[in-house]
Structure 1
């Protein structure tokens, strides 16, 4: 390999790392400006919700082999009665994943420049918790539990089945973006469902936390 090629590869890795760092920082800021009804969590508003009841931890299935790239078309969350179309989104002015417009509260946004759901790595799906007048697609996201299922319908005709293994409501103060959004285990196909959480600070016009549901690929249909 030539020295020029080595320098080019190193530059590409640096750019990729900087892009990921910027994205994670932007996600930390994501959700500012949402208004409306209180978040529906009846229990704690921060921390690993399921870790508070370890005696009920389910036996989780083994991970499935990652799929190739394909565009997500719909996300189904049977426990919440959610069947939502997915649209490709980029980054907003703050460097965070740009959620769908407020006039599309039932739509989920996928960070199209990142990992595709079912492919190796962590795919990011974002949705509003509410609007100024009503609940939105991820209103009950924090009520999900490990062992429950999320399905993503893909453009290649496959349905990627993910098993939830972690549900957290993470306060924005001292937020660890890498812990929340980076892959938990190397080699797996993982999924993150992200929305606002905690309580709504009307003075700051933002929520005090983010809900982050983590899942990993455990099966495929189609």
Structure 2
């Protein structure tokens, strides 16, 4: 589906209930180791696998992790995402606070977890849409393995990550350790997460989450 086709649909509300499914999993996992009219947010095939790693596409070696520095901005040139990053903590219920609805084009960084470029899996979350228009991660599901994600950091560096897979996790098959945990120990990784799957008009929620995984492959100064 083209970007124009994806954008042609009317806006959908990314509800707090949808975040609850995503972020409750983060809360439970974290305790062990230290969230409009309908339509689909592609890809929706299968419970988990969506794109995966393409055969025959070489992936670059991982770059050594960096010293911690907070993220200021994230860019995914291939799908036209360029957004400020705002730190987000936990709300009163113990779940990560997503960006406010007044900031639909901002990306939230879970500031109690890893910083992008440092060892571990850093979590970036964003809305897929609002009641009236697409939000920052509306096209996130169009990302593909091998494409780049750049995170500008407060120390003046730009951490460049390479996407290694794109998946859809349904509520029933959502695995917090798989989504939030690092794929390889000691590696600097990134997770970009939003809602996906089918939109239920009755409950005004999505039934899945799109998860883009990437790992650090270069650094620009």
Structure 2 partner of 1:122: 121
2:27 alignment partner in structure 1: 22
Are the counterparts in 2 of residues 86 and 108 from structure 1 also a CA contact under 8 Å?
Answer: yes
Question: Over residues 101-152 of structure 1, what are the superposed CA-to-partner deviations in whole Å (9 max), with x where a residue is unaligned?
Answer: 1111110000011100000000000000000111000001111111000000
Range with greater deviation from structure 2 (192-201 or 88-97): 88-97
CA-based RMSD of the aligned residues comes to: 2.1
CA contact (8 A) 1:138 1:195 kept: yes
Aligned length: 194
Q: What secondary structure, in the 3-state scheme, does the structure 2 residue paired with 1:142 have?
A: helix
The equivalent of 2:215 in structure 1 is 216
Runs of 5+ consecutive residues of structure 2 not aligned to the other structure: 1-24
CA distance in 1, matches of 2:43, 2:189: 27
Alignment of 1:1-222 (within 5 A): 22-24=27-29, 30=35, 35=36, 38-41=39-42, 44=45, 46-51=47-52, 54-55=54-55, 57-222=56-221
- How does the TM-score come out when normalised to structure 1? 0.81
Does the 8 A contact of 1:45 with 1:199 survive in 2?
A: no
8 Å Cα contact 2:44/2:196 also seen in 1 = no
- Runs (4+) of structure 1 exceeding 6 A deviation are none
Deviation (angstroms), 1:21: 6.5
Highest CA radius of gyration, 1 or 2? 1
The 2-side partners of 1:54 and 1:114 are apart by 29
Does the aligned pair in 2 maintain the 1:181–1:192 contact within 8 Å? yes
Contact 2:49-2:168 at 8 Å conserved across structures: yes
The structure-2 alpha-carbon separation of the partners of 1:95 and 1:160, relative to structure 1 and needing over 3 Å to count, comes to same
Cα deviation code 1:26-85 (max 9, x no counterpart)? 9xxx1xxxx55534416626422124x844x51100000000110100000001111100
